[in-house]
Structure 1
Amino acid sequence: MILADFIVFNDNGLYCHYGDFYLDPKLPVNKAVISHAHGDHAVGGNTNVYCTAATAAFMALRNGKTAAKEFHLKEFNDSFLIGDVLITLISAGHILGSAQVLMEFKGVKYLYTGDYKVQPDDTCEPIEWVKADVLITESTFAHPGTQHPGAVEEIKKLNNIKTNILLGAYALGKSQRLINLINTWCPQKKILVHHKIMPVNLIYEKFGFHLGQYQMYGRKLMKQQNEYVYIVPPFTFDSYFKATGVKRLFASGWKNLQTNAQDTLFISDHVDWNDILNCVKFVEPTQIWTLHGDGAHLKRYFEGSIEVKLLK
């Protein structure tokens, strides 16, 4: 029997009292299962953190000694118990080390996706599909009107821009994917990266994901018009709003982050509407629980066939 209260939100985040642990808590807790290392999923200060080795490395980079008192490193598809709940980390395809969390309790399987992606990406492990009774899915882009184009199709747009480019991207995950895509599909471009991105790149290289050619940003280099692509995190991108001699682009699935209608770069690391529907086909859940967005469209779409519950 599916337990309606198997996971619930409280002041600290998403809690499973049957195993006494949290999924991607918002505040430090005793036992946290972390799906991936983005800041909105991986706070520092937890006592015990269960995650992949790559996620632990990124958390240690960002939080130092306060990342966790103890990391319990888990391989994909190796099961372990927390309390009476059997947990297995399944590749989510979102960024390096990202995991879905399969939880089994009293014969029922609950699959928490975290953030996940089905588009091909050479800079992280591909998504893996498993069957579950309950699919607990992010719904960031769960709207029928949201369908993201392929990343290759989008990155090739850079070939038509002959000036230097200031390219905004999140430092973890998106930047590394862009470096790889540009090297593969825009080989004449010369990639410069912000100093905040370099340590993240080194962790990717350490885990065997080679990104291709890039170098640290130098002010003198960008004064030349030599088809440079300077990849910067959001705070730097926003501070360079008056930059001249460059084309400003921001790589994102969000329309409001595109800088102009003529030069868009819709490259998302999240599932869109069709991706979620395909996920449901693979997982074959009898219930869908949504979070991290608006699940109302999914509730209407599956009305009469699959029960959809909006967690938050």
Structure 2
Amino acid sequence: MIIDDFITITPTGLYCVYGNFYLDPQQPVAEAVISHAHGDHAIGGSKNVYCTAATKTFMEHRYRKFAAVDFHTKQYHKTFKINDVTITFYSAGHILGSAQVLMEYKGIKYLYTGDYKIEPDHSCEPFEFVQTDVLITESTFANPETKHPSPVDEIKKLNETKANIMLGAYALGKSQRIIQLLNTHCPTKNVMVHHSIMPFIKIYEDFGMKLGSHKMYDRKIMKNNHEHQVYIVPPMVFHSYHKAINVVRAFASGWKNLQQQNGISLYISDHADWNAILETIEKVKPKQVWTLHGDGKQLKEYFNNRLKVKILN
């Protein structure tokens, strides 16, 4: 029997009382299961942190000695237990090391996706469809009107201009994906990267991800070459140089508001859109769907009486 309160939302984050642990807590806790290393899912300071090896490495870079008291790194597909709950990690396809968390308790399976995407991405492990009784899915873009375009078609837009491009992208995950896409589909572009992104690139490469050619940003190169230079910068730098001259501006994101006032729109998202969420539900065959991190109302309306959809947030 599915337990309605197997996962509950508390001020500290998602809590599993039956295993006495938190999923992606927002405050330090004794037992934290971390899906991936983005700052809105992985904070420092918890006592015991269960995650993949890549997530551990990212957290150690970002939080240094305050990342955790003890890390317990787990491979995909290898089961472990926290109290009475059996847990297995599966790839979420979001960024390197991102994990779906399958929790089994009294014969019932509960699958927490964390952030995920199902489309191909050669900069990280591919998404895995895992059958479950309860799918606890992010619903960031759970809107029938939202359909992410092909990332290949989007990145190829950059071939339409010879001008230098300042490209905004999140330092962890997005930047590495963009480097890989540029190398594959924009061979005439010289890729340069802001210094704050370089440590994350090195971690990707240390874990065997081949992203392709890139260099640390060199102001002289940008100044002396007025064509075919792409400078990848984190959001704070991108927004602080909103009046940068002699460059075309682009920001890689699925959010429309981040495309405004840019020279090129670049709709590249690392989250599941409406069709991807429906495909995931179809393939994992849950008896119930619980939604997080967005608005699950339209999913609930879509399935009506065919499938129970519970909105957790």
Which category of TM-score, normalised to the shorter sequence, fits these structures?
A: over 0.9
Alpha carbons 1:249, 1:259 under 8 Å: kept: no
Matched, 1:171 2:161: no
TM-score, length-scaled by structure 2:
0.99
Alignment of 1:17-166 (within 5 A): 17-166=17-166
* Aligned sequence identity (%): 63
Letter in 1 for 2:86: L
1:79-104 residue CA offsets vs partner (Å, 9 max, x unmatched) = 00001000000100000000000000
- Aligned residue in 2 for 1:263: 264
- C-alpha distance after superposition, 1:257-300 (max 9, x if no partner): 00347621000000000000000011101100001000000000
* Residues in 2 aligned to 1:91 and 1:260: alpha-carbon distance in whole angstroms: 35
Give the TM-score, by structure 1 length.
0.99
Output the CA distance in 2 between the equivalents of 1:171 and 1:8: 31
Q: Residue 161 of structure 1: CA displacement? A: 1.1
3-state SS of paired residue (2:70): strand
- Per-residue CA deviations over 1:161-211 (Å, capped at 9, x if unaligned) read 110000000000000000000000001100000000000000000000011
CA–CA separation in structure 1 for the residues paired with 2:79 and 2:301? 35
Structure 1 Cα separation of the partners of residues 107 and 59 of structure 2:
33
Question: SS at 1:236's partner residue?
Answer: helix
Residue 266 of structure 2 aligns to a residue whose secondary structure is: coil
Q: Which amino acid aligns with 1:51?
A: C
1:220: Cα distance to partner? 1.2
User: Match of 1:183, as an amino acid?
Assistant: N
Corresponding residue of 1:237: 238
Q: Which amino acid aligns with 1:289?
A: W
Query: 1:261 and 1:176, CA in 2 relative to 1: closer, same or farther beyond 3 A?
Result: closer
DSSP 3-state at the match of 2:110: strand
Is residue 2:305 matched to residue 1:287?
no
- Determine helix, strand or coil for the equivalent of 1:109: strand
- In structure 2, the residue matched to 1:222 is 222
RMSD: 0.8
How far, CA to CA, are the matches of 2:210 and 2:311 in structure 1? 39
Deviations 1:136-168 (A, max 9, x none): 000000000000011101000000011000000
1:292 partner letter: H
| Cα distance in 2 for residues equivalent to 1:237 and 1:263 | 14
Query: Offset of 1:303 from its aligned partner?
Result: 0.7
Q: How many angstroms does 1:218 deviate by?
A: 1.2
